[in-house]
């Protein structure tokens, strides 16, 4: 059982986390949801298309203009409060590595802290424990926030992913984060080259077998683009293929840009696996 905010999710229930970037320079939508009105419209659309979690970020993952903690909080805290007011049952996640930002967004109503940089600020888990919110524990290969990997190597990338994420998860629980609210994330592209991310996907079942719910953030990433040699805006098909494989292997939460398409892929895989009945079953019965 995964418990986040007011929501609980069964073990085989796939969950869509919709990305809402409050940044002017986001890699995919180039600032489309930087202003409040389009960002709120994006939340409404995502919820209507089947997203259970809204992931709000105030700093883009890649290199770029310096964003202070104060500016990150300015971009996210008030927005979290407004989303909480308008959508009381949606799970609100905030993508941050900073404890001080985590504190502010939890005060505003966040349910989940998405630490994409692998515990670089150990105080973030302490904030999650203090507020009783969820925490995403990610493998980033020891990379500093907003840096790109350069000739990174692993003896066994999945063994390193397991060592790091399980250590972060157990530390979070020891601090007081509810065990049923902790997720682990292999961190595709973070501290990894394309072959590492492909191997992490291929061996995702090893993470699932640990018993912790697994979150994957695959959407339109560079490993998809390099694998298929496709530019940013032509990676949706590759993303959805990777999503289907990840769903078959047992990942539970999917951080995405394309909510409706992802929801269909996850429902189809769940039905093939026998975890979900067809929405309609008339064929051959008339």
What does DSSP say about strands 15-21 and 253-256: parallel, antiparallel, or unpaired?
parallel
Match 């967004």 to its residue by tokens.
105
Cβ distance 113 to 93 under 8 Å? Answer: yes
CA atoms within a 13 Å half-sphere pointing along the CA-CB vector of 58: 26
What does DSSP say about strands 134-138 and 215-217: parallel, antiparallel, or unpaired?
unpaired
Please pick, among 255, 263, 276, 283, the residue that the annotation labels catalytic.
255
Closest alpha carbon to 187 in 155, 162, 153: 162
Distance in angstroms (rounded) separating the CA atoms of residues 197 and 255: 16
Please pick, among 22, 42, 192, 221, the residue that the annotation labels catalytic.
221
* 121 DSSP assignment: S
Is-catalytic flag, 221? Answer: yes
Q: 122 by DSSP, 3-state: which?
A: coil
Cβ distance 205 to 251 under 8 Å? Answer: no
**Tokens at 150, concatenated:** 């350069």
Task: Give the Cβ contact number of residue 149 at 10 Å.
Answer: 16
Is-catalytic flag, 230? Answer: no
Cβ contacts of 5 within 8 Å, gap of 6 or more: 89, 90, 91, 92, 111, 112, 133, 134
List residues with catalytic annotation: 221, 255
């Amino acid at each position: 059982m995964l418990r986040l905010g007011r929501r609980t999710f069964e073990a085989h229930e796939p969950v869509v986390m919709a990305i809402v970037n409050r940044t002017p320079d986001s890699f995919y939508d180039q600032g489309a949801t930087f202003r409040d009105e389009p960002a709120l419209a994006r939340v409404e659309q995502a919820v209507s298309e089947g997203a259970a979690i809204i992931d709000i970020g105030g700093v883009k993952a890649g290199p770029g203009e310096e964003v202070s903690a104060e500016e990150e909080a300015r971009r996210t805290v008030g927005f979290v409060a407004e989303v909480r007011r308008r959508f009381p049952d949606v799970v609100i996640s905030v993508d941050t590595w900073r404890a001080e930002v985590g504190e502010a967004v939890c005060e505003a109503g966040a349910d989940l802290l998405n630490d994409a940089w692998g515990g670089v600020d150990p105080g973030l888990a302490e904030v999650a424990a203090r507020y009783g919110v969820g925490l995403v524990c990610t493998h980033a290969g020891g990379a500093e926030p907003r840096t790109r990997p350069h000739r990174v190597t692993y003896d066994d990338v999945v063994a390193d992913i397991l060592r790091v994420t399980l250590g972060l998860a157990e530390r979070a629980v020891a601090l007081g984060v509810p065990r049923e609210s902790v997720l682990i994330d292999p961190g595709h592209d973070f501290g990894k080259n394309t072959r590492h991310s492909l191997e992490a996907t291929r061996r995702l079942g090893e993470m699932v077998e640990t018993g912790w719910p697994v979150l994957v953030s695959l959407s339109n990433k560079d490993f998809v683009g390099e694998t298929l040699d496709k530019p940013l805006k032509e990676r949706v098909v590759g993303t959805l293929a990777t999503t289907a494989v990840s769903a078959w292997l047992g990942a539970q939460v999917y951080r995405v840009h394309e909510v409706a398409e992802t929801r269909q892929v996850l429902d189809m895989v769940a039905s093939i696996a026998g975890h979900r009945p067809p929405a309609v079953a008339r064929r051959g019965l008339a």
